[in-house]
Amino acid sequence: MPSGHTVSTLEGIILKADQGFLDLVQRTEASINGVSYKTLTDPRDLERSAGMLVDLKDGAAPVRLQKRYIRPDGSSVAANLLVTRFSDPDRLISTLYWRENSRPLPPARLWEAALRIRSVHAARVQLFGNDLSTDPVGSLLVGIYLAEAEGRNLGISEVAAYANVAQSTAARWLKVLQEKRMVEARADPEISIQFTQSGLDKMEAMLASVYEFSDPAFTVA
């Protein structure tokens, strides 16, 4: 899985970037040195990026974020970031990794676990029918996770189709997930539906347990 690194000020001004990051955004080092992260960030993710900067505290655990970058041709590319704040001097160190040739962004085993859940649900629908296979919240969570993992934008119409529920039903459950701070609250859910950091952490913890119990190497004492 390809990776890259950047060093920035606390305000997000890029001071240094390695070749991996330059390859990701398809720019030269001279063109991004001294540039704000806002210039390279997809406008749809500026709010997420700004929130991440606010959450970073000196000496605290790194903050993880998925965001999209704008390339010179206007296209966007998604990457996962792990950002750590250091002091003396104050700097932000970002480690990025992203998919290449359709490889998943998160750890492959978590992505595989999400695919297994989707496969089991599809088999359940086929065998028992939609009326006996309704799990709107679970389907919404898996749909959102897979979209983020694969670097796809996900609006309410897409996630409703994935969960096989009406858009009004999807909207109602998304509102509940927003109130639980699992999903980010956005004025226009058609633009992009994404997990909050807390939501992503909980989802990946659940997927980790799914993978553990489905691993052939796992045995029950």
pLDDT tens per residue across span 63-90 = 777 788 999 998 888 888 888 888 778 8
Percent of the chain past pLDDT 70, that is, above it, reads 84
- Are 89 and 154 within one domain? no
Whether residue 41 is predicted with pLDDT greater than 70 in this model: the reply is yes
Residue 219 lies in a domain: no
**Residue range(s) defining the domain that contains residue 7:** 3-97
Over the chain, what is the mean pLDDT? 82
- Are 41 and 92 within one domain? yes
d(CA 80, CA 98): 6
Residue 220 lies in a domain: no
- Are 134 and 61 within one domain? no
DSSP 62-88: PEEEEEEEE-TTS-EEEEEEEEEEETT
- Are 66 and 139 within one domain? no
Residue 221 lies in a domain: no
- Are 147 and 171 within one domain? yes
Q: How many domains does the chain have?
A: 2
- With contact defined as beta carbons under 8 Å apart, do 162 and 196 qualify? no
- Are 66 and 143 within one domain? no
Q: Convert the pLDDT of each residue in 120-149 to its tens digit.
A: 888 888 888 888 888 889 999 999 988 877
d(CA 148, CA 200): 10
d(CA 141, CA 163): 9
Confidence of residue 105 (pLDDT cuts 50, 70, 90): very low
Whether residue 33 is predicted with pLDDT greater than 60 in this model: the reply is yes
CATH code, domain with 146: 1.10.10.10
d(CA 68, CA 211): 28
- Are 124 and 165 within one domain? yes
Single pTM value for the model? 0.53
- Are 83 and 161 within one domain? no
Residue 174 lies in a domain: yes
- Top pLDDT among 61 and 96 is at 96
Whether residue 220 is predicted with pLDDT greater than 80 in this model: the reply is no
Read off φ and ψ for residue 172, nearest 5 degrees: -65, -45
Token code pair at residue 178: 């927003």
d(CA 97, CA 36): 20
- What integer pLDDT is reported at residue 59 of this predicted model? 62
CATH code, domain with 61: 3.30.450.20
- Top pLDDT among 98 and 183 is at 183
Residue 158: Cβ within 10 Å count: 17
Candidates 186, 190, 163; CA nearest to 175 is 186
What is the separation, in whole angstroms, between the first and last Cα of the chain?
Answer: 35
Q: How far apart, in Å, are the Cα atoms of 169 and each of 16, 112, 117, 159? A: 46, 27, 21, 11
| CA-CA-CA-CA torsion sign (194, 180, 166, 123) | positive
Whether residue 218 is predicted with pLDDT greater than 50 in this model: the reply is no
Residue 194 lies in a domain: yes
Q: In this predicted structure, which of 6-10, 160-164, 191-195 has the lowest mean pLDDT? A: 191-195
